Amino acid sequence: MIDQVKDTDLGVRADFPVLSRLMRGKPLVYLDNGATSLKPQSVIDAEVAYLRDNGATIHRGVYEFSERATTMYDDARVRIKRFVGCPEDGEVVFTKSATESSNIIARSWGAKFLRPGDRVVTTEIEHHANIIPWQEVARATGAELAFIPIGPRGEIDPGDVARTINDRTRIVAVTGMSNVTGAMPAVREIAQIAHAAGALVVVDGAQLVSHHPVNLAELDADFVIWSSHKMCGPTGVGFLYARKCLLEQMDPFLYGGDMIVKVTKDRATYAQAPEKFEPGTPNISGVIALTAAIDYLEAIGMDRIADLEDRLLARAEEALGEIPGVTLYVPDSVGRRGGILSFNVDGVHPHDVGSMLDSEGIAVRAGFHCAQPFMRHMGVGGTVRASFYLYNTAADVDALVAGVRRAKEFFQ
């Protein structure tokens, strides 16, 4: 057993009120961070403060409270752009989720520019949010959806990327970090190959941005999607990064107020991005509280968070790997991985393992993780998934391992 207990606690647990609650009468061990993260008190306070002390809408009011809300909302955009190293020629649009962001790309870019015979390239390791929108737009436009061949545990060889991209490839949509195995495909290399063939690159950063330092200028993707709720922020706030020139070419996804330059009886002209893609009253309290999440993560440091997750992952992998009859779904030599570990106990349904862990206050995810093609590829109906974040500790890992041992004894 790796003995790095003191290096496996960032000392932040007290910042997360829910961690002092009981689950099933037991101290909560929260290991479902791949689904969503818990929220620190500062984020809760920021959201409550806006609702309590302001509550006005943005951009439209000519009165002080609205101007203040607008300043906070606009400031959140400046902060999230800085957080991800958004290049000068890029923009971040607020959406309601990473899922909505990928749908915007598929509809507003894909449906407009894809032609019959064009190719959209993706992988079987994607979350459904980065596959289904492409399936639909390919069907609607007559484009072909092609999959990069992957190894037994979803390994991606850049050589296969190059072989799958042809001169009709317009889009390469790939995850920055798998929500099933934590694998982090070589996105920069993939972007280089795609760009050399004249294709655009969409990176699903839902896991990557929440768990690792990211610099969009270096990543060199054309579109990146991610969401606030996985990075200590509120739910209902997502992000779409794109190069401004692409956003200019795209049509709006939704139509209505707060996105126009002029409206007459029979037509409208639209504002530039980001407003063009943000009609209607947005999630103002969520966006404002996001700023507190960014402050919080920056104060701790994304490097430290990623390093902690490395250590927790290694500890969990080693200890669970020692239990006979436990299969770990760990990709082979894919470079760095995020803090996500999928496993199964032979002969026991993942839901039964999950329920047994739940009875001990341990929250994991059990099922197909919105990644059915990947499950099918690995020949499983589902897995148990433990996923780590900045408040997890070696004690959480040890509780998980002990819980899995007990589940195995109980069911076998």
230 secondary structure, DSSP code:
G
**Under rule CB under 6 A, which residues in 177-196 are in contact with ligand PLP?**
179
Closer CB to ligand PLP, 229 or 311, in the complex = 229
Q: Identify the three-state secondary structure at position 58.
A: coil
Q: How far is CA 135 from the centre of its chain?
A: 20
Work out which of 207, 291, 342, 344 binds ligand PLP, going by CB under 6 A. 207
**Under rule CB under 6 A, which residues in 285-304 are in contact with ligand PLP?**
none
Total binding residues toward ligand PLP, as defined by CB under 6 A: 16
- Which residues have CB under 8 Å from 164's CB, separation 6+? 121, 146, 147, 148, 149
Q: Identify the three-state secondary structure at position 48.
A: helix
**Is residue 175 within the footprint of ligand PLP (CB under 6 A)?**
yes
**Is residue 98 within the footprint of ligand PLP (CB under 6 A)?**
yes
d(CA 77, CA 284): 12
CB-CB neighbours of 74 under 10 Å = 13
Residue 225 CB, nearest approach to ligand PLP (Å): 7
Q: How far is CA 11 from the centre of its chain?
A: 24
Q: CA–CA distance from 216 to each of 79, 178, 299, 300 (Å)?
A: 14, 18, 20, 20
Looking at the DSSP bridge assignments, the partners of residue 93 are 240
Q: How many CA atoms lie within 13 A of 21 on its CB side?
A: 9
Residue 112 CB, nearest approach to ligand PLP (Å): 22
Closer CB to ligand PLP, 8 or 207, in the complex = 207
Candidates 96-104, 246-254, 349-357, 377-385; binding stretch for ligand PLP (CB under 6 A): 96-104
**Is residue 387 within the footprint of ligand PLP (CB under 6 A)?**
no
The answer to whether the bond into 274 is cis (omega within 30° of 0) is yes
Residue 37 CB, nearest approach to ligand PLP (Å): 11
Q: How far is CA 262 from the centre of its chain?
A: 36
- Which residues have CB under 8 Å from 300's CB, separation 6+? 10, 12, 390
Cβ atoms of 141 and 119 closer than 8 Å: no
Binding letters toward ligand PLP, positions 27-66, x by CB under 6 A: -------xx-------------------------------
Closer CB to ligand PLP, 95 or 392, in the complex = 95
d(CA 308, CA 316): 12
Work out which of 8, 37, 97, 387 binds ligand PLP, going by CB under 6 A. 97
**Is residue 206 within the footprint of ligand PLP (CB under 6 A)?**
yes
Candidates 25-33, 156-164, 199-207, 280-288; binding stretch for ligand PLP (CB under 6 A): 199-207
Q: Is 370 among the catalytic positions?
A: yes
Work out which of 204, 278, 360, 396 binds ligand PLP, going by CB under 6 A. 204
Phi and psi, residue 299, nearest 5°: -65, -35
**Is residue 127 within the footprint of ligand PLP (CB under 6 A)?**
yes
Work out which of 99, 108, 283, 387 binds ligand PLP, going by CB under 6 A. 99
Active-site positions read 370
Q: Give the interface with ligand PLP as residue ranges (CB under 6 A).
A: 34-35, 97-99, 127, 129-130, 175, 179, 204, 206-207, 227, 238, 370
